[in-house]
């Protein structure tokens, strides 16, 4: 879990630690917009990724039957999300000084774009500049956003399962994180008369996952990154369940929201220049809680998968078609 959390939180902590990029924090709303464009593939990818891996059959357990599942999900970032267009008209204080206006996002490749911050003050300007950080897409397998998961499901009366997913808490000096989710699956084949004698199962499923993370940058100035995520999915699923193989699939809808905040006080350095671009002085200024970003991801989804069974041991994999196509694979220990 720690690697997944750091992929999210360290991407924003550069705002406070980078030699030049921290000057973006002077730009208020412009800073939020630019960082939202840069960070969106990771944030949206995580939302889509966490809505996967809930099931590997539509069949429900008998009463008090249960399974324990270990799953790895990976939401593949589409090519359209690896870059974004920098339009100066969208920003009040930012201009492109040099380099490509088609900027690489965090899941893209190397950047050469230099951005200037010019904030009018009396007859002068606060001026500083920074170079956009490179993307890390080439360093991430499949250019995908991962989300490992441990999950347990138990059978209830009326052909219903409840599921709980969980990742062990992280509680170190630098990172604190927690993830938990709940799901419910209800088998519909029981209402379809003689069809319940077939190896076919049909069910409805709903799942909710929430994740919170805090990354400590500097305790002295209360500098930290605060991340919160809520992801929800509702689906109709079906499976053909044979003794050694199960073919399953589902259609439904994913929805998710997340926030990413940079909190604390940050001391920034910038130059004061006159109308002729001459440096008058270099001064420092502090800003507090400079970043507050919101992300949303939602859309239809369709899943196809296969599971192999060796007694109580299962191994499975599936592929989901949606805005961020997602691969899920895992193992399960199932006792009906």
pLDDT tens digits for 171-225? Answer: 777 778 889 999 999 999 988 877 777 899 999 999 999 998 888 877 777 788 8
- Nearest CA to 295 among 215, 207, 227? 227
pLDDT digits (tens, 9 = 90+) for 39-63: 899 889 999 999 999 999 999 999 9
If you write DSSP's letter for every residue of 128-167 in order, what string do you get? EEEEPPPP-GGGSGGGEEEEEEEEEEEEETTTEEEEEEEE
pLDDT digits (tens, 9 = 90+) for 130-177: 888 888 877 777 889 888 889 999 999 999 999 999 877 777 777 788
- Nearest CA to 211 among 57, 26, 1, 32? 1
Q: How confident is the model at residue 22 (pLDDT cuts 50, 70, 90)?
A: low
Provide the whole-model pTM. 0.87
- Nearest CA to 111 among 121, 123, 122, 98? 98
Q: What is the CA radius of gyration of the chain?
A: 24
Q: CA-CA distance, 61 to 187, in Å (whole number)?
A: 10
Q: In this prediction, what percent of the chain has a pLDDT beyond 70?
A: 93
Per-residue pLDDT, 59: 95
Q: CA-CA distance, 163 to 168, in Å (whole number)?
A: 16
């Amino acid at each position: 879990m720690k690697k997944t959390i750091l992929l999210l939180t360290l991407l924003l902590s550069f705002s406070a630690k980078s030699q030049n990029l921290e000057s973006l924090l002077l730009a208020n709303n412009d800073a939020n917009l630019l960082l939202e464009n840069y960070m969106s593939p990771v944030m949206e990818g995580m939302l889509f990724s966490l809505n996967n891996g809930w099931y590997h059959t539509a069949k429900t357990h008998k009463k008090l039957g249960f399974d324990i599942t270990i799953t790895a999900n990976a939401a593949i970032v589409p090519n359209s999300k690896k870059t974004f267009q920098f339009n100066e008209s969208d920003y009040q204080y930012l201009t492109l000084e040099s380099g490509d206006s088609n900027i690489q996002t965090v899941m893209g490749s190397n950047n050469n774009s230099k951005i200037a911050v010019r904030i009018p003050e009396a007859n002068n300007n606060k001026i500083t500049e920074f170079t956009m950080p490179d993307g890390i897409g080439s360093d991430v397998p499949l250019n995908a956003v991962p989300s490992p998961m441990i999950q347990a499901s138990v059978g209830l009366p009326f052909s219903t399962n409840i599921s709980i997913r969980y990742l062990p808490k992280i509680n170190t000096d630098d990172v604190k994180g927690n993830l938990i989710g709940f799901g419910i699956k209800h088998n519909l084949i029981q209402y379809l008369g003689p069809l319940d004698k077939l190896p076919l199962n049909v069910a409805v499923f709903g799942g909710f996952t929430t994740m919170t993370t805090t990354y400590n940058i500097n305790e002295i100035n209360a500098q930290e990154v605060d991340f919160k995520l809520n992801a929800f999915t509702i689906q109709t699923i079906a499976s053909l369940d044979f003794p050694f193989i199960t073919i399953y699939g589902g259609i439904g809808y994913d929805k998710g929201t997340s926030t990413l905040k940079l909190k604390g006080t940050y001391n920034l350095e910038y130059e004061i220049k006159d109308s002729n671009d001459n440096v008058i002085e270099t001064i420092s200024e502090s800003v507090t809680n400079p970043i507050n970003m919101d992300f949303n991801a939602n859309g239809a989804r369709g899943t196809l998968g296969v599971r192999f069974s060796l007694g109580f041991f299962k191994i499975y994999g599936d592929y989901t078609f949606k805005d961020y196509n997602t691969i899920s694979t895992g193992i399960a220990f199932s006792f009906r």
